Amino acid sequence: MSNIDIKSINTIRVLSADGIEKAKSGHPGLPLGSAPIAYELFAHHMKHNPKNPTWANRDRFILSAGHGSMLLYSLFHLFEYGDLSLDDLKQFRQLDSKTPGHPEYGHTVGVEATTGPLGAGMGMAVGMAMAEAHMASVFNEDGFDIVDHYTYVLGGDGCMMEGISSEAFSLAGTLGLSKLIVFYDSNGISIEGSTDIAFTENVVERMKAFGFQTIEVKDGNDIEAIGKAIEEAKADKERPSFIKVNTIIGYGAGKKAGSASSHGEPLGSEALAALKSGFGFNPDESFKVDDDVYANFKSVNEKNAKVEDEWNKLFKEYAAKYPDKAKLWEKYYNDIDESLIDSDEFWSWDEAPAATRNISGSIINRLKDIYPNIIGGSADLSPSNKTVMNNEGYIAKGDYSGRNIHFGVRELAMTAITNGILLHGGLRAYCATFFVFSDYTKPMARLSALMNIPTIFVFTHDSIGVGEDGPTHEPIEQLAMLRSLPNFNTFRPADAKETIAAWYAALVSKTTPTAIVLTRQNLPQLEGSTKEALKGGYIIKEASKAVADMILIASGSEVSLAIDAAKELENEGIATRVVSMPCTDVFENQSKEYKEEVLPKAVRNRVAIEALSGFGWDKYTGLDGRVISMNSFGASAPQDQLFKKFGFTKENVVATAKEVLNQ
C-alpha cells in the first residue's frame, strides 16, 4: 500500500466527514469504514471514465447503503465526475444542491442508481448483471466482447437483513451471474447497537447457500487484501462473488469509532478533530485536498480514458465486420418507436370478448418483434399473467440469450431487478404479478418513479373479479396506492383498444413507469373505445343532449357496465354521458380545457363506478356525486356472484344515478 493510496483514502474520509459536519446532518460511519474498499475498487480495478460517465461498457458501482452518500460524492469530486466541486460538497444536503442526502440517479453525475431504502441496491445490481449477461449474449462475437463489464455493489448489515437481498441473491446464484461482485461492509453495528441483538446469522454461509463464491477480508484497511479478493471474484466464471470485508464503523473518529453514534449524525468537533489529527490532516482546515492527491486521481483517469478509447476502436471494427449487429445496437439504445401510433394493424383487434390479460399477452407477442430489446417475466405467475414471449427462451445459467425471465416468487426483488435492467441501458423490461401483490412491489416501484425510469408493470387479476381465490388475492386499495404515487402512470384498460393504448403509452414513456392493470375475466369489446384512451380519460359514449343530465365515469371492467346503465338511463329520458378513465394520472396532465370538455364543471350529477376502493374518485364526482366502489375487502366466490353482491350491477348503477338526480 503506497503512501499516496493511504493519503487518498484518508482524504475521502476527511472530505466526507467535513461535508456532513457542515450540513449538520448525514452519516459519517460508512464513508469512514468503507473508504478503502471504494478507493481500491475505483482506483485499481474498475473500468470507468468520468469524462464519459454513460459509456456503455463501463463497470457499474452501486452504493446500496445509500446513507453513505458522502463517500460517493467525495470520490466523484476527486475523480472529477460531472465536475463536482468542493463547493458542491459544501452544499451537501442543501436545497437544489448536486449532493442530496441520498444518492439520486439522474441528479448527480456518476450515480448509477438511487439508493437509501436498504437492500434496494442489491436488487438493482442483480438486474444490471442480468442485463450485462443478456446483452453480451446478444451482441458479443468471437474476439469482440463488446459487452463485458462487472457490476459491483456495496452494502451493509441493513442491506443484508432486508428480505430483498435474499430474494435477489437467490436468483443471482441460480443464474450464475459471475460478473456480479457484492461487497458486504461488515461492521457489526446497526442503529440500535451491536448487530448481535438481531442479526447473529452466518451471512457468509447464507451467501454460499445461494450459490455465491464467498471471500473474506479480515481487515477493511488492507487494500491489498481487498484487491486480491476482487481478483478472485473476477476469476470465478461460474458464480457471483460475495466479499465480506470486516470494517470499523466511523474508523478514525476518536471515541466514536466502532460505535452506533458514528452512524447517522455528524461527528461533532471533537471526533472530527481527532479524525483529522489521526490521519495527519490539519484540524483547523476543512475541505482540503492536497495536490498530490488530485494528481493521483488524475493519473487513474488518464489510464481509464485509454481503456475506453480501446473499446471505441474495438467497436468500430465490430461495426465494420458486423454491420447488422451495429445497427441492432443503435436500435437497442434508441428504442422509442412512436410510429406505432399510426399503425392500423397495431391498433386493430377482433371483436370477441376477452380478458384484458389475454389481450395483453397477445400484444406482448406483437411487440417482441417490434422491440427486440424487450425482456421480462413474472414472479412465478406467467401462466396467469400471460407474460411469456412465445418462441423466445428464458434467461438461464450459462445461456443468457433468452428474453423471458423466471423471477421466482420474489415480487420485491423482481421489481428492483427490472429497475436494474433499465438502469443498465440498452434494454426495456417488464415484470408481472397479481395486482394484489403490487403491494410487495411498492417500495421498488416508488424507486422506479423517483429515478424517472420507464419500468413496466403487468398486474393481472385486477379486482374482485379474481373470484374464488378470495380477499387475500383480491385487490381493493391497490389502484389508489399506485395512482397516488408521483410520476407513475396506472392504466386499467376496459377492452382491447385501451389495452393497446396502455402498452403503447408504457413503451413510448421515457421518464415515467407504467402499470397495466388487467382482468382475469372476459370483457366485451366496446364500440366507443379509441386511441383517445391515451389521454387518460375520454368520452366513450356521448349523451343524447348537448348538456348531459348525468355523467357516469368508470375504468376497466366497469366501463361496459356504465355503458349498459347509461343506455337504460337514456331509455328513461336521462341524457347520460359515459367517461372511460383508464388512467387518472395521464388525464390529470391534460389541458384544463380538455378536462372541462370531458367533465364539464356545470354537470354535477356524476357517478363513478370501480370494483375496487373508491378512494380518490371524489375528485371527479365532487360533493354532489356518488361512487359505487368497494368499501371492504372482497370475498371468495365465483366472480359474477361477487359483482352482484357488492352492487356492480346495471340496476344498482341506474338506481344510484337516479338518487343523485333526485337529491
Among 101, 240, 493, 556, binds its own copies (CB under 8 A): 101
Question: Does 100 engage in binding with its own copies (CB under 8 A)?
Answer: yes
Element at 298 (helix H, strand E): helix 291-321
- Rounded-to-integer distance, Cα 149 and Cα 177, Å: 12
- Rounded-to-integer distance, Cα 316 and Cα 310, Å: 10
Total residues contacting its own copies (rule CB under 8 A)?
113
CB atoms within 10 A of CB 160: 26
- Rounded-to-integer distance, Cα 458 and Cα 492, Å: 11
Among 110, 173, 454, 513, binds its own copies (CB under 8 A): 173
Q: Which stretch binds its own copies (CB under 8 A): 74-82, 177-185, 366-374, 610-618?
A: 610-618
First to last CA, the chain: 83
Give least dist CB 214 to its own copies, A.
11
From residue 310, alpha-carbon distances to 58, 199, 375, 382, 470 in Å are 12, 46, 30, 42, 59
In the shown chain, the binding pattern of residues 453 to 492 toward its own copies, with x for contact by CB under 8 A and - for none, equals --------------xxxxxxx--xx--xx-xxxxx-----
Question: Does 53 engage in binding with its own copies (CB under 8 A)?
Answer: no
DSSP 427-455: -EEEEEEEGGGHHHHHHHHHHHHHHT---
Q: Which strand ranges, in their side-by-side order, compose the sheet holding 576-580?
A: 538-541, 576-580, 550-554, 606-613, 626-630
Is residue 411 part of the annotated active site? The answer reads yes
Among 148, 380, 392, 570, binds its own copies (CB under 8 A): 380
Interacting positions 131-160 with its own copies (CB under 8 A): 157-158
Is 346 a known ligand-binding residue? no
Among 1, 53, 86, 94, binds its own copies (CB under 8 A): 94
Q: Which stretch binds its own copies (CB under 8 A): 92-100, 234-242, 310-318, 453-461?
A: 92-100
Tell me which residue has cell 359474477: 640
Interacting positions 274-313 with its own copies (CB under 8 A): none
Cell of 440: 410487495
Collapsed DSSP state (helix, strand, coil) of residue 552: strand
Give least dist CB 624 to its own copies, A.
8
**Residue closer to its own copies (CB basis): 267 or 412:** 412
Give least dist CB 96 to its own copies, A.
8
Among 164, 271, 540, 598, binds its own copies (CB under 8 A): 164
Interacting positions 491-550 with its own copies (CB under 8 A): none
In single-letter form, the type of residue at position 400 comes to: Y
Question: Does 382 engage in binding with its own copies (CB under 8 A)?
Answer: yes
In the shown chain, the binding pattern of residues 414 to 443 toward its own copies, with x for contact by CB under 8 A and - for none, equals ----------------------xx-xx-xx
In the shown chain, the binding pattern of residues 231 to 270 toward its own copies, with x for contact by CB under 8 A and - for none, equals ----------------------------------------
- Rounded-to-integer distance, Cα 504 and Cα 502, Å: 5
Interacting positions 197-216 with its own copies (CB under 8 A): 197-206, 208-211
263, 157 in Cβ contact below 8 A? no
**Residue closer to its own copies (CB basis): 96 or 324:** 96
Among 191, 235, 295, 336, binds its own copies (CB under 8 A): 191
Cell of 291: 495536490
- Rounded-to-integer distance, Cα 145 and Cα 394, Å: 22
**Residue closer to its own copies (CB basis): 336 or 547:** 547
Output DSSP code: residue 624. T
- Rounded-to-integer distance, Cα 626 and Cα 2, Å: 74
**Residue closer to its own copies (CB basis): 193 or 353:** 193
- Rounded-to-integer distance, Cα 482 and Cα 505, Å: 16
CB atoms within 10 A of CB 629: 22
**Residue closer to its own copies (CB basis): 57 or 385:** 385
350 Cβ neighbours under 8 A, 6+ residues apart: 525
- Rounded-to-integer distance, Cα 191 and Cα 429, Å: 36
- Give the active site residue among 104, 112, 411, 610: 411
From residue 1, alpha-carbon distances to 5, 6, 44 in Å are 6, 7, 12
Question: Does 23 engage in binding with its own copies (CB under 8 A)?
Answer: yes
Longest dimension (CA), the chain: 90
User: Is 469 buried (19+), middle (13-18) or exposed (0-12) by CB count in 10 A?
Assistant: middle
Interacting positions 627-656 with its own copies (CB under 8 A): 630-633, 635-638, 641-642, 645
Question: Does 600 engage in binding with its own copies (CB under 8 A)?
Answer: no
**Residue closer to its own copies (CB basis): 41 or 413:** 413
**Residue closer to its own copies (CB basis): 49 or 433:** 433
Question: Does 596 engage in binding with its own copies (CB under 8 A)?
Answer: no
Give least dist CB 368 to its own copies, A.
18
Binding residues, as ranges, are 27, 67, 116-118, 157-158, 187, 189, 263, 357, 384, 437, 461, 469, 473, 520
Give me the active site residues, please: 411
Binding residues for substrate, as ranges, are 27, 263, 357, 384, 461, 469, 473, 520
